[in-house]
Amino acid sequence: MKYVNANEVLPDRLITEIQQYIQGESIYIPRPESSRQKWGSCSGSRKWIDERNDSIRTSFRNGSTIQELAQEYFLSSETIKKIVYKRKPAADDQ
């Protein structure tokens, strides 16, 4: 996490207002919900897991058993069940 001196980025009147609540301490200001990125979106991990899960669902629909998929993908049977029985969210929900 990168720290920035408030004097460099905030107007004096806002600093004065903040000082009424806290002085000389570090404070974290979170991003707005609308600008947050979902886990794995930058690294590509989310895409890889989504593709893996799609492959697991396809194999299950084509007759593979839970146990076979667990062994093939090195996941627990419970994890495979969660993947194959969960309704996939619509594209605009993601």
Whole-angstrom distance, CA of residue 89 vs CA of residue 74: 24
Question: How far are the Cα atoms of 7, 8, 49 from residue 30, in angstroms, in the given order?
Answer: 18, 18, 27
Summarize pLDDT for 69-78 with one digit per residue, the tens.
999 999 999 9
Whole-angstrom distance, CA of residue 74 vs CA of residue 63: 18
Summarize pLDDT for 17-70 with one digit per residue, the tens.
999 999 988 888 888 877 777 778 788 898 999 999 999 999 999 999 999 999
Q: What is the pTM of this model?
A: 0.57
Give pLDDT, residue 87.
Answer: 75
Give pLDDT, residue 90.
Answer: 57
